[in-house]
Structure 1
Amino acid sequence: MNLSPLQAISPVDGRYRNTTQDLAQYFSEYGLIKYRVFVEIEYFIALCDINLPGLTAFDKANYNKLREVYLNFGETDAQEIKDTEKVTNHDVKAVEYFIKKKFDDLGFPDFKEFIHFGLTSQDINNTAIPYTFKLALNEVYYPKISSLIEKLKELATAWKDVPLLAHTHGQPASPTKLGKEFLVFAERLEIQLNSLKTIPNNAKFGGATGNFNAHHIAYPATNWVDFSNNFVNNTLGLNRAQHTTQIEHYDQFAAQCDALKRINNIIIDLDRDIWTYISKNYFKQKIKEGEVGSSAMPHKVNPIDFENAEGNAGLANALFEFFAAKLPISRLQRDLTDSTVLRNVGVPMAHTVISISSTLKGLNKILLNEEVITADLENNWAVVAEAIQTILRREAYPNPYEALKDLTRTNQKITADTMAVFIDGLKISAALKEELKQITPYNYTGVF
């Protein structure tokens, strides 16, 4: 049966396939198999490059033929490996047998026992998986999150001069600028993104228990640590952990999960703030002909993009948190619990990409409702009390905070006229009274 998005169990491969399909080449079963083949081929080439005894007769002019094995790798090849796995009941061994058959086809049968030489399956898994994770970050995630940051900066520039009533503890507070509020999120995301980029993509490469036992017993004169450092760090572009068990310890991957979770938390915070601004009618949403906002209430245009983004970021974070807590723990030199967990690495990445895409979609639909924003400022003249009492403090006026508290905590509505009457009743100079009267909810917005 050919599976369609309608038949997928997970929505990341079903409902959201168009959004997540770029991740499939890295995190699907096909992707994992392909990059296992890639690591095995490049490892064989690296052994040839050091003129390992037994490989000196291999013609290096044939490197391109070897690399074509993974460069031209297709679904038919992956299926062949899966069919072999049904017999071997071991996925990496099936990859080894596939490459050995290719060596026969290419006329290199005398060298095929150097495929997977001295390695355990985790030398392949713990390089192929961080390699695909690195590719997914560089080619899908980083461009996506950068687009979100750029959109926030774009809106910050467009609305940099729009005064906005702030709310602390859910109550009207000292006004701010709408553009600055978007810069808050852009800055937070940039800081955490830069932090994520500093975490190395760690890999393990050292044989069955991390000591190069098989390598060393066969070729004791070869410096296998230097060889592996060069192969992992330079050929694969990863960071080889120096002292490991059979598996990579996943501490750096856990740090990446935590960093991705922090970024998602910022996105959730952004989504909730925009959702709240929409509920206050500070923003309207662009209406697309034919779209329905509510199945029952014709007048509604629900903020579904921000709600969708929040839900998907939450799902991603649940898995990122689990990965960070589980993967660094393994019994003695290795147990198999990490194997099935790592097959799900693409799931939180997919939910994260959905969340970013939905947030961007929502931000592209919001429209400023300046009439409501202005009315809210006009209805909350009490917020300039902070400004007035601060200037009175500057002038050593007695008990200014208490005077403003008595004024603003009565049941009367505070208006421009109320504030003017209060100022006129103060025993201060005419010039100071005029200075205080210049303060409004529209201009008391600080330095941003």
Structure 2
Amino acid sequence: MYKTQNGDTFDSNNPYCNYRSPLSTRYASKDMQYNFSEQKKFSTWRRLWINLAKAEQELGLDITQDQIAEMQNNVNDINFEECAAEEKITRHDVMAHVHVFAKQCPKAAPIIHLGATSCFVGDNTDLIVIRDGLNLLLPRVAVVIDNLAHFADRYKSLPTLGFTHLQPAQLTTVGKRATLWLFDLLMDEKALRRAKDDLRFRGAKGTTGTQASFLQLFDGDRTKVQKLDQRIAELSGFTKVYPVTGQTYTRKVDLEVVSALSSLGATMHKMCSDLRLLANMKEVEEPFEKTQIGSSAMPYKRNPMRSERCCALARHLLALFSNAANTHSVQWFERTLDDSANKRLTLSEAFLTADAALMVLENVTQGLVVYPKVIERRIGQELPFMSAENIIMAMVKKGGDRQICHERIRVLSHEAGAQVKEHGKDNDFLERVRADAYFAPIVGELNELLNPSTYIGCAPEQVTEFLNDEVKPVLEKYKEYLKKPSSVTLNI
């Protein structure tokens, strides 16, 4: 039992008595959690020591196949308690794991970590984890894009009231609005894919990036040092190494990755904010379970809780960018250790948060509900004012004077606006037009002039062209993944 300074007593071995990140207990997927797990981290360290030994053996160092096999047989068998105890003694996490691994592999003990530094395992593992994390996120982005593409196509011709400055503007369509979210997501997919494709391996660079220890191992043969660097990268699944590093790969790499993830967060926040506004207007809603409770006090409520959660997660993701930027900016000369603690938090939380938010967004986009009658009613409230130019043109064609017509419409529209704003009545602009003898020549055309589909411009065609020209080529890259049924299960 453990007694706190506040006087509380608890079982320190009980996981519910220790802090647990909501990213693990509530939000992120099991795959992404494993990607940042201790098991993945330290088994990767061991694989890197194996790859180092293999490459050094290939280049002529006295390393036997038995030594490599012994390490391979113990790659996943990690005694975490023993490693923790060893770290208390050494105050060094890498050396603690070297010592424990060496005990498990007595034959290989002399050559484990041969010529390497802590950053050989630390940095190279981080690059592997970043790569694998991006490989998990990109298909999720593609699923959201695919969901929205189907939504945009289905509603490409459904007129809806557009807004600028959050004030009623000209009409657009429900599908056209969705393409605005889609285009942002296409930019995110490209940025994340570029970040992944740009990743290289740190390889074997030594304490300050000069490869001095490896040059000594190979008796001054620089060609072998270069081959070692490249071979370790290949064995670890990378085609290129960073040509120059300090003790670490530049933290600019982390900054670029977190920047792409934060940018994705901005996209998700913008889209889900739009959905929350649409839910308020009762035009479009996220999925709502039959047994879902919107409020403990107000049973009638249908809160956009998924979109709100996505915004909350995205906001945290946006905030992480400054950590990555500040960390890179203060890495003095070849490196300082003030990156370590921050990096442990920022990288993992950026990926786990992006993963969690994308899972929510996938759920939302596969079940969006549209209410055409509500949309039609709102259009009916605003379209009379928007029809002014069409009415003027129709009157001019009948021989009317544009300036006189403009003034009459201005007066009538202001009168109708006062009815709406001051008295809470419906927009009666058209009734006023019909009652004004001046407009008698076009009264019979008013219904045609007010057909919403004549106010949406090229929106349907834009949607079709956008989906064909921009979206489909991106989705083609993920066609095998998109064939799989959704595996998203949202926690509470």
Structure 2 residue aligned with 1:41: 50
Work out whether 1:445 is the aligned partner of 2:447.
no
1:319, distance to aligned residue in structure 2 (A): 1.5
After the TM superposition, which of the residue ranges 121-130 and 28-37 deviates more from structure 2?
A: 28-37
How far apart in 2 are the matches of 1:387 and 1:326? 58
Structure 2 residue aligned with 1:180: 176
Seen in structure 2, the aligned counterparts of structure 1 residues 302 and 66 have a Cα distance that, compared at 3 Å, is: same
Contact persistence 1:85–1:94 (CA under 8 A): yes
Contact persistence 1:272–1:306 (CA under 8 A): yes
1:135, distance to aligned residue in structure 2 (A): 0.7
Structure 1 residue aligned with 2:255: 254
How far apart in 1 are the matches of 2:239 and 2:96? 25
Structure 1 residue aligned with 2:41: 32
How far apart in 1 are the matches of 2:451 and 2:430? 8
Seen in structure 2, the aligned counterparts of structure 1 residues 236 and 113 have a Cα distance that, compared at 3 Å, is: farther
What secondary structure, in the 3-state scheme, does the structure 1 residue paired with 2:22 have?
A: coil
Structure 2 residue aligned with 1:22: 31
Structure 2 residue aligned with 1:406: 410
What secondary structure, in the 3-state scheme, does the structure 2 residue paired with 1:184 have?
A: helix
Seen in structure 2, the aligned counterparts of structure 1 residues 221 and 272 have a Cα distance that, compared at 3 Å, is: same
One-letter identity of the residue aligned with 2:221: A
Contact persistence 2:200–2:242 (CA under 8 A): yes
One-letter identity of the residue aligned with 2:387: V
Contact persistence 1:209–1:246 (CA under 8 A): yes
Seen in structure 2, the aligned counterparts of structure 1 residues 416 and 401 have a Cα distance that, compared at 3 Å, is: closer
Structure 2 residue aligned with 1:282: 283
Seen in structure 2, the aligned counterparts of structure 1 residues 101 and 38 have a Cα distance that, compared at 3 Å, is: same
Higher relative contact order (CA 8 A, sep 6+): 2
1:94, distance to aligned residue in structure 2 (A): 1.9
Residue by residue over 1:203-259, the C-alpha shift from the partner in whole angstroms, topping out at 9 and shown as x without a partner, is 423100000111112321142134213422563316422222111112122111111
Work out whether 1:221 is the aligned partner of 2:221.
yes
Structure 2 residue aligned with 1:242: 243
What secondary structure, in the 3-state scheme, does the structure 2 residue paired with 1:243 have?
A: coil
Matches within 5 A, 1:4-403: 4=15, 7-16=18-27, 19-52=28-61, 54-55=62-63, 58-59=64-65, 66-70=71-75, 73-74=76-77, 76-104=78-106, 108-109=107-108, 112-138=109-135, 140-199=136-195, 200-205=198-203, 206-219=205-218, 220-223=220-223, 224-232=225-233, 235-237=236-238, 239-284=240-285, 286-344=287-345, 345-381=347-383, 382-385=385-388
Structure 2: gaps of 5 or more residues: 1-11, 417-426, 461-492
After the TM superposition, which of the residue ranges 19-28 and 157-166 deviates more from structure 2?
A: 19-28
How far apart in 1 are the matches of 2:306 and 2:271? 12
How far apart in 1 are the matches of 2:80 and 2:390? 69
TM-score, normalised to structure 2, is 0.78
How far apart in 2 are the matches of 1:422 and 1:123? 84
Contact persistence 1:118–1:212 (CA under 8 A): no
Contact persistence 1:39–1:124 (CA under 8 A): yes
Aligned length: 429
Seen in structure 2, the aligned counterparts of structure 1 residues 27 and 78 have a Cα distance that, compared at 3 Å, is: same
1:45, distance to aligned residue in structure 2 (A): 1.0
How far apart in 2 are the matches of 1:180 and 1:401? 33
Contact persistence 1:378–1:415 (CA under 8 A): no
1:327, distance to aligned residue in structure 2 (A): 2.9
One-letter identity of the residue aligned with 1:231: I
One-letter identity of the residue aligned with 2:113: H
Seen in structure 2, the aligned counterparts of structure 1 residues 63 and 123 have a Cα distance that, compared at 3 Å, is: closer
One-letter identity of the residue aligned with 1:47: E
After the TM superposition, which of the residue ranges 234-243 and 382-391 deviates more from structure 2?
A: 382-391
TM-score, normalised to structure 1, is 0.85
How far apart in 2 are the matches of 1:401 and 1:244? 73
1:425, distance to aligned residue in structure 2 (A): 4.5
% identity of equivalent residues: 19
What secondary structure, in the 3-state scheme, does the structure 1 residue paired with 2:171 have?
A: strand
What secondary structure, in the 3-state scheme, does the structure 2 residue paired with 1:355 have?
A: helix
Over aligned residue pairs, what C-alpha RMSD do you find? 3.3
What secondary structure, in the 3-state scheme, does the structure 2 residue paired with 1:301 have?
A: coil
After the TM superposition, which of the residue ranges 336-345 and 267-276 deviates more from structure 2?
A: 336-345
Seen in structure 2, the aligned counterparts of structure 1 residues 212 and 398 have a Cα distance that, compared at 3 Å, is: same
Seen in structure 2, the aligned counterparts of structure 1 residues 425 and 238 have a Cα distance that, compared at 3 Å, is: same
What secondary structure, in the 3-state scheme, does the structure 2 residue paired with 1:164 have?
A: strand
Seen in structure 2, the aligned counterparts of structure 1 residues 154 and 79 have a Cα distance that, compared at 3 Å, is: farther
Residue by residue over 1:29-73, the C-alpha shift from the partner in whole angstroms, topping out at 9 and shown as x without a partner, is 332222111211111111112223x23xx23x8755543432xx1
1:130, distance to aligned residue in structure 2 (A): 1.2
How far apart in 2 are the matches of 1:172 and 1:181? 14
One-letter identity of the residue aligned with 1:87: I
What secondary structure, in the 3-state scheme, does the structure 1 residue paired with 2:160 have?
A: strand
One-letter identity of the residue aligned with 2:250: H
Contact persistence 1:264–1:313 (CA under 8 A): yes
